[in-house]
Amino acid sequence: MGSSRPGTQSLQSRTYRALRRSILDGDFVPGRAVTIRGIAEDLGISPTPVREALRRLVAERALTLSATGRVSVPVMTREKLAELVNARICLERQAAIDAVPGITDRVVTRLSRLNRSIDRAIEAGDHRRYLVTHRDFHFTLYRVGGGEVFLPLIESVWLQISPFLRYTLSGEHLSRYSTSDRHVEIIEALERRDATALGFAVEADIRHGIGALIESDWNRPDDTAAGANTAGIRAADRESG
Amino acid sequence: MGSSRPGTQSLQSRTYRALRRSILDGDFVPGRAVTIRGIAEDLGISPTPVREALRRLVAERALTLSATGRVSVPVMTREKLAELVNARICLERQAAIDAVPGITDRVVTRLSRLNRSIDRAIEAGDHRRYLVTHRDFHFTLYRVGGGEVFLPLIESVWLQISPFLRYTLSGEHLSRYSTSDRHVEIIEALERRDATALGFAVEADIRHGIGALIESDWNRPDDTAAGANTAGIRAADRESG
DNA sequence: AGCAATTATTTGTGATCACAAATTCCCGTC
DNA sequence: GACGGGAATTTGTGATCACAAATAATTGCT
């Protein structure tokens, strides 16, 4: 209706996608405030669609709304991290198990290929590529069992964790806590269509990956990215969800 | 900021709460369209806060957004219901187990009292009161384990299921599928602080309650409530939650 | 210089408007 | 009577504006 071309998604939707992607890719620094007008200026649009995109992210718990209406990147606490890990295990184990009946050799091959991509990203020390491929690996698996219910729930949890993954992104952590061996367990369980083993492998992968987070010192102020949160926002390139 | 009094919440927030409550209480009929201007007129406010409240509910999957931007109450499918049940079991079993360490006798007493309220609501055939007390029972339990992570996830799932609970609300179903005996199992497990038994009791309660949904004929058009969806929206009375 | 009070700026909120797309309604035709 | 097409209405979208609260900056005082 307000959209110029028929095929074009709404401005609010594209803004949401761009912000969401920035969060998942680790461009948002925990604790920093996000302003409606700031993002609107960066994107060259009016505040209206930005406001809606931000509120949507708040609804998905990716951002928090302070008492004064200020939107900011949440600050992590030990308790919250523990809860997030529990939620990930709950949801992703079930999603993986639900995927088993729909698993084909083609999917397993694709996951293996993604796993090699992850390894390459780790070797290259490419943090962003690591995050993208790692996310792709998990969601490729969960999408098989498919559903409009589990995936949004899982995405919400990932959005809540993502801003803090930056503290595991030092080259040292990246190599020490390589997740690829756990992913191999997942792939092997898939090849055998062994739902029980798959559940354990997924749980192990999650616990292992988060281990790096718990050990790191994510409570002290950030030092790597001094830029504003809005710096990394790129226009949404795809129309897909 | 636009709020008139300091203690008053934002208009958008109160609108959201009113709509959410209406959904949870079963006032929204599946499949019916919801319009921004319609609700805005009913509440005597401008479309702006209504738009944001609706989008928030869409983000929480309580409502769906069609390709043309139309907001409507989702239509249930068998597959979706199965997924929702799985999600409820996943999340609520874990939330209940996490609550065990924080359980006090006072909480157990309160749950017993709520359970009696549920029984009275069933005897009286008071559907709304049944929904309210039943919801109160579950969330009172889950709130003990606390958390800013699990509760929103569980609430999202409940919001997705709620519009379809109307099909279990006939007096016949209400008495036949009384959940109180399952709740007794939950309370007994809590008294023994038996996390494992509690998990099974919660799962049994969920499966049992949804049994009524699966057997009922929720696919054919609605006949009980001929009124508009906006009819049941009352002003948000509390500032909480 | 350090701190408190005041001013200036920024920011979120909600209303209103214009526009285009989608929906609905109505009428004519077969 | 059912179906199709076009006008009238409804609806979502995004921009702009006014306002008040909150934050930042500045001034004045000790």
Spanning CA of B47 to C1' of C17, the rounded length in angstroms is 13
- Predicted local distance difference test score (pLDDT) of residue A123: 84
| Cβ-nearest to A59 among B59, B91, B98 | B59
pLDDT of the residue at B227: 40
* More confidently predicted of B136 and A216: B136
More confident of the two residues B21 and B223: B21
Q: What is the mean pLDDT of residues B152-162?
A: 96
- Residue in A153, A155, A159 to test binding to B, most B beta-carbons within 10 Å: A153
Q: Are B201 and B185 in contact (CB under 8 A)?
A: yes
Tell me A18's DSSP state: H
Distance from CA of A183 to the nearest CA of B (A): 23
Structure tokens at B197: 């038994």
d(CA A1, CA B51): 15
pLDDT at B92 over 90: yes
CB contact under 8 A, B153 and A150: no
Residue with CA nearest to D19's C1' atom? B2
Is a pLDDT exceeding 50 seen at residue A228? no
Angle at CA of residue B59, ends B35 and A227, nearest 5°: 125
Instruction: Give B56→chain A minimum CA distance, Å.
Output: 6
Closest alpha carbon to C1' of C22, residue: B68
Distance B72 CA to C23 C1' (A): 15
Residue B30 has pLDDT above 90, yes or no: no
Please give the pLDDT value at position A88: 96
Question: Which residues lie closer than 8 Å to A179 by C-beta, 6 or more apart?
Answer: A118, A134, A205, A208, A209
* Residue A59 pLDDT > 70: yes
**CA-CA distance, A163 to A161, in Å (whole number)?**
6
pLDDT at B109: 96
Q: Is the pLDDT of residue A46 over 80?
A: yes
Contact A61 B10 (CB under 8 A): no
Q: Number of Cβ pairs closer than 8 Å across A and B?
A: 89
Nucleotides of strand C under 7 angstroms from a protein beta carbon? 10-24
One-letter identity of residue B157: V
Tokens representing residue A218 in the block? 């994510």
Report the chain B residue with the minimal C-alpha distance to residue A83: B149
Mean pLDDT of chain B: 84
Name chain B contacts of A96, Cβ cutoff 8 Å.
Answer: none
> pLDDT at position B223, please?
42
Which nucleotide in the DNA or RNA is closest to residue A68, CA to C1'?
Answer: D22
Angstrom distance (rounded) from CA B178 to CA A131: 48
Mean pLDDT lowest for which of A46-50, A100-104, B165-169, B216-220? B216-220
Tokens of B146: 């606390």
Q: How confident is the model at residue B208 (pLDDT cuts 50, 70, 90)?
A: confident
Mean pLDDT of B53-69: 95
Residue of chain B whose alpha carbon sits nearest to that of A86: B94
User: How many angstroms separate the CA of residue A55 from the nearest CA in chain B?
Assistant: 7
Chain-chain contact of B91 with A86 (C-beta, under 8 angstroms) = no
- Tell me what pLDDT residue B239 has: 39
For B94, the closest chain A residue by CA position comes to A90
Q: How confident is the model at residue A226 (pLDDT cuts 50, 70, 90)?
A: very low
Q: Which residue has the higher pLDDT, A176 or A112?
A: A112
Using the CA of A39, give the nucleotide whose C1' is nearest: C11
Within chain B, residue ranges assigned H as helices are 11-24, 36-43, 47-59, 78-99, 105-124, 127-144, 150-161, 171-176, 180-191, 195-215
Asked if pLDDT for residue B25 goes beyond 50, the answer is yes
What residues does A218 pair with on adjacent strands?
none
Task: Give kind and range of the element (H or E) at residue B180.
Answer: helix B180-191
pLDDT for the residue numbered A98: 95
Q: Compute the average pLDDT of residues A32-48.
A: 95
A64-73, B119-128, B167-176: segment of lowest average pLDDT: B167-176
Q: CA B150, CA B88: separation in Å to the nearest integer?
A: 11
The C1' atom of C18 and the CA atom of B222 lie apart, in whole Å, by 38
Best mutation site among B13, B85, B86 for testing chain A: the one with the most A CBs within 10 Å?
Answer: B86
Would you say residue B66 has pLDDT above 80? yes
* Closest chain B C-alpha to A77 CA, distance in angstroms: 11
Indicate yes or no: CB of B83 within 8 angstroms of CB of A147.
yes
Compute CA B236 distance to the chain's CA centroid, rounded to the nearest angstrom. 16
Mean pLDDT score, B213-221: 58
Contact A90 B86 (CB under 8 A): no
Mutation target to probe the A interface, by most A beta carbons within 10 A, among B66, B85, B93, B149 is B149
Query: Does residue B236 have a pLDDT over 50?
Result: no
Kind plus residue range of the DSSP H or E element containing A71: strand A71-72
pLDDT for res B205:
92
Distance between the alpha carbon (CA) of A1 and the C1' atom of C22, Å:
8
Residue A6, pLDDT score:
47
Q: Is residue B93 over pLDDT 80? A: yes
**Other Cβ atoms closer than 10 A to A168:** 24
**According to the model, what pLDDT value does residue A173 have?**
60
d(CA A156, CA A84): 10
Rounded to the nearest integer, the mean pLDDT of chain A is: 84
The stretch A49-78 carries a mean pLDDT of 94
Does residue A185 carry a pLDDT above 50? yes
What's the confidence (pLDDT) of residue B215?
64
| Residues within a 7 A CB radius of strand D | A 1-3, 10-13, 45-49, 52, 66, 68, 70; B 1-4, 6, 34-38, 47-48, 51, 65, 69-71
Among the partner-chain residues A52, A80, A156, the one whose CB lies closest to the CB of B153 is: A156
Which phi-psi region, left, alpha or beta, contains residue A147 (left: φ > 0; alpha: ψ -120 to 50)? left
